[in-house]
Structure 1
């Protein structure tokens, strides 16, 4: 089949797909859970501490009785996105899929934490556009490359420097840091616990940890 034929076939399929509206609305779920659903989008270099900090934040949310779920980059690539590589095109698709999954979770009334490098500003903006303004918070885990490389918990930087791994963010693939994140955490001289507490305090200030 020619490319034009495939495009027409896809168009015909999507033309017949309509959004199913559930009898239970997001507002109903918000009232049931007594919380404000939001995506906490953690972004930063590999080794910056995204997953560890996001996990520590979720523990604190759980202790406060909040309903949440953590989507971690490595975990997602074991299943939903295991067919994707780490080239720029597949990185974009990786983030697109996660954005759509996060949107469904937020519709269910959850606080969703996502821990992904998500290196490109355009793709992060496209995910942000999926949500109402109050339901997406970008959290920049700001750790210098030298610190991330010194930590290198999975020896990924070492492999990237020797050419074993290609398209590694910060080495031979670009990372575009957020210019105006809602929460900016500089981790170099802080513990995981201190970073998590700073995020919780910011969420409290913004009104996300108060009941509806």
Structure 2
């Protein structure tokens, strides 16, 4: 742990918010593989950007191929993966952008730590449970991961050979086998409007 560090004061969060004319927040999408998280995140990001809002999506493509490319999928690595994402999303939210994270994030404790990190910084954290029955997720299986997990090719696969702990009290609960992508993204967008975050 670094010890010879000193915080350098700059703009306050409120000053930055006034200058950018926007509040920051983290929207944390969690759910099984093939639940629709990334597709919804993309649609929501486009909605926000078209509305003139600062938003950025964090997902496996831009995190696992860069910042977290040194991590695998053991429980320890998954915990560290989510810890880093929590810190990065907090920075985006503090910059008065809307961070949209799209990760399975299977462990309730890790998501609670992300929430607490934002709470301590007085930043909004909106947990979105992207819910789908396992059977439907397996039927979708766009990358063939469930099939490989069932065959034992992929070890520690969430929902099959590794646990997924569903959120107990998410701000938003979306059932993607009942709503279209557009409807799901609008549920989140409307929540942000209703809570004066956009």
**Common topology (TM > 0.5):** yes
Provide the rounded CA distance (Å) in 1 between the counterparts of 2:20 and 2:42.
21
Residue from 132, 138, 148 that aligns with 2:127: 138
CA distance in 2, matches of 1:91, 1:74: 15
SS, match of residue 129 in structure 1: helix
Please tell me whether the aligned partners of residues 126 and 172 of structure 2 are also in contact (alpha carbons under 8 angstroms). yes
Distance 2:18 2:30 in 1: 30
| Partners of 2:72 and 2:78 within 8 A in 1 | yes
3-state SS of 2:191 partner: helix
Matched, 1:184 2:173: yes
TM-score (norm 1): 0.89
Hey, what does 2:182 align to over in structure 1? Answer: 193
User: How far apart are residue 191 of structure 1 and its match?
Assistant: 1.0
For residue 29 of structure 1, the aligned residue among 8, 13, 16 is 16
Aligned to 2:8: 20
What is the count of residue pairs matched by the alignment? Answer: 196
CA contact (8 A) 2:94 2:123 kept: no
- TM-score, length-scaled by structure 2: 0.95
Offset of residue 164 of structure 1: 1.1
Q: Superposed, which structure 2 residues align to 1:150-189 within 5 Å?
A: 150-189=139-178
Shift of 1:175: 0.3
Give distance in 1, aligned partners of 2:95 and 2:131.
30
**Coordinate RMSD, CA, aligned:** 1.2
Displacement of 1:134 after TM fit?
A: 5.0
How do 1:57-72 residues align onto structure 2 when only pairs under 5 Å count?
57-72=44-59
Question: 3-state SS of the aligned residue for 2:90?
Answer: helix
Name the counterpart of 1:6: none
Per-residue CA deviations over 1:130-183 (Å, capped at 9, x if unaligned) read 113551110110111111110001111111111111111001000000000011
Distance in 1 separating the partners of 2:149 and 2:62: 21
Counting only pairs closer than 5 Å after superposition, residues 103-122 of structure 1 correspond to structure 2 as 103-122=90-109
Deviation at 1:28, TM superposition (A): 2.1
Match of 1:127 in 2: 114
Structure 1: gaps of 5 or more residues: 1-9
Contact 2:106 2:166 in 1 (8 A): yes
Verify: 1:83 aligned to 2:75, yes or no: no
Q: Deviations over 1:97-142 (max 9, x none)?
A: 0111111111211111000000000000011111135511101101
Give me the whole-angstrom Cα distance separating, in 2, the residues matched to 1:104 and 1:201: 24
Q: Which 5+ residue runs of structure 2 have no aligned equivalent?
A: none
* Structure 1 residue ranges, 4+ long, deviating more than 4 angstroms after superposition: none
